Structure 1
Amino acid sequence: MKVVIVWSSPNENGLTASAKESFLSGLKKAGTEYEEVHLNKFKTEHCLACGNGWGTCRSEGRCIIKDDFESIYRKLMEADGIVFISAVYWHDVTEHMKAFIDRLRRCETGHNGFLAQKRCILIACAGGTGLGAVECLYNMEEALKHMGMRAYDRIPVIRYNRDYMLPALEQAGEVYVERLKDGFDMRY
């Protein structure tokens, strides 16, 4: 059993990093193999919308941009479960996460379908008032649904709920591994 955590925040000591560490602690307690992908440390360009909007992503299921996208995509294909964790900017995911998901969606929806039926956890971490967390989770899930992926849970973490959500995320990591192993399913 392997879980890949894809996360994005420029602040490696902030709320998003804390949420990632809490969830990761639960994965470790459950004894599962995991890999972290901190998108801010990878080179992933924005989609060029080549080929009149649909280039090789649609015809061949691959992107023409030579950066770290393909290696991350491969990790997701090989994973049993995927966790997406993002800081919230303007009620949406970070620019790094958005660029990655946009390209992923084009390859998956247009051609491949390698990630269809992958069971995911979505976590949005909002500082300030926290008002954008729920909208961010909605946007993340809509992108995943285009690819046929399913969200097991959508977890908002904000300054107000931080003290009780971080411990809950650890337990969520443990439960996630159990659910992946026992085949728990939720159909849309």
Structure 2
Amino acid sequence: MKKVAVIWSSPNKNGLTASAKEQISKGIADEGAEVCEIHLNSKNINHCRACGNGWGTCNKNGSCVIGDDFADIYNTLKEADGIVWISAVYWSDMTECFKAFFDRLRRCDATFSHSLTEKRCMLIACAGGTGRGTLECLTQLERGLVHMGMRAYDRIPVVRFNKDYMLPALYDAGKTYADRLENGFDMYY
């Protein structure tokens, strides 16, 4: 059985981002994969301190000196066969706690351990306001994944305007993603 980490961030546990997370997670589970949901807003995640003259232990051994929930989440991502990244959109970017986690992850993984290289990912950005900014958010997220050698297999913007047809589509996307993790992707990079 394949394991998929669904890592998401929104302070609203009942909003659009949570609905997107529910739909894709249900599709993944219904296709037979194990889903591990990680709600970053419920975790203790501090910002990078840029210690050690800018590069501390993250550059030397792939770990972070900050004693919070980061290491446990990082280990979950290492053990996963695939990762779904979901963020609410603020100022055309990921949420602040998502960025705090992602910055530290990139420092540890891209500079030392490379444990996430070749992970196949799905990217989802959810905007409850005008919807502007979802594409920029997805671009920023993918740029970080590229630093770590991960592969984005889909980039999905969900906004108030399209939620009635995108939320059901996320269920189908989750099923397809889980199937491809099990049976292979036919996309070349």
Calculate the TM-score normalised by the size of structure 1: 0.98
Amino acid in structure 2 at the alignment position of 1:74: N
Letter in 1 for 2:22: E
Tell me, in whole angstroms, the C-alpha distance in 2 between the residues paired with 1:147 and 1:28: 26
Q: Distance in 2 between matches of 1:138 and 1:180?
A: 23
Deviations 1:102-126 (A, max 9, x none): 0000001110000000000000000
Amino acid across the alignment from 1:161: N
CA distance in 1, matches of 2:110, 2:18: 30
Partner residue, 1:34: 35
Residue 98 of structure 2 is matched in structure 1 by: 97
Aligned equivalent of 1:87? 88
Aligned mates of 2:29, 2:108 — CA distance in 1: 31
How far apart, CA to CA, are the structure 1 residues paired with 2:153 and 2:172? 14
2: distance between equivalents of 1:71 and 1:185? 32
Could you say which residue in structure 1 is the equivalent of 2:58? 57
Indicate the residue corresponding to 2:173 in structure 1. 172
- Aligned partners of 1:79, 1:66: CA distance in 2, in Å? 22
- Runs of 5+ consecutive residues of structure 1 not aligned to the other structure: none
Structure 2 residue 138 is the aligned partner of structure 1 residue 110: no
In the comparison of the two structures, how many residue pairs are matched?
188
d(CA) in 1 for partners of 2:79, 2:69: 16
Identity within the alignment, %: 62
**Counterpart residue number, 1:134:** 135
Which secondary structure state, in structure 2, belongs to the residue aligned with residue 114 of structure 1?
coil
Aligned partners of 2:117, 2:12: CA distance in 1, in Å? 31
Shift of 1:186: 3.5
Deviation of 1:128 after TM superposition, in Å, equals 1.1
Which amino acid is 1:42 matched to? K
What's the CA shift for 1:183? 2.0
Cα distance in 2 for residues equivalent to 1:96 and 1:186:
32
Q: How far apart, in 2, do the equivalents of 1:94 and 1:117 lie?
A: 25
Give the residue type in structure 2 aligned to 1:5. Answer: V
Report the counterpart of residue 7 of structure 2 in structure 1.
Answer: 6
Which residue identity lines up with residue 34 of structure 1 in the other structure?
A: V
Once superposed, what is the RMSD of the aligned Cα atoms? Answer: 0.8
Match of 1:18 in 2: 19
Give the aligned residue type for 2:108: C
Structure 2 residues without counterparts, runs of 5 or longer: none
Q: Deviations over 1:49-92 (max 9, x none)?
A: 00111110001110000000000000000000000000000000
TM-score (norm 2): 0.98
Q: CA deviation at 1:185?
A: 5.2
Q: Distance in 1 between matches of 2:153 and 2:182?
A: 13
Aligned to 2:183: 182
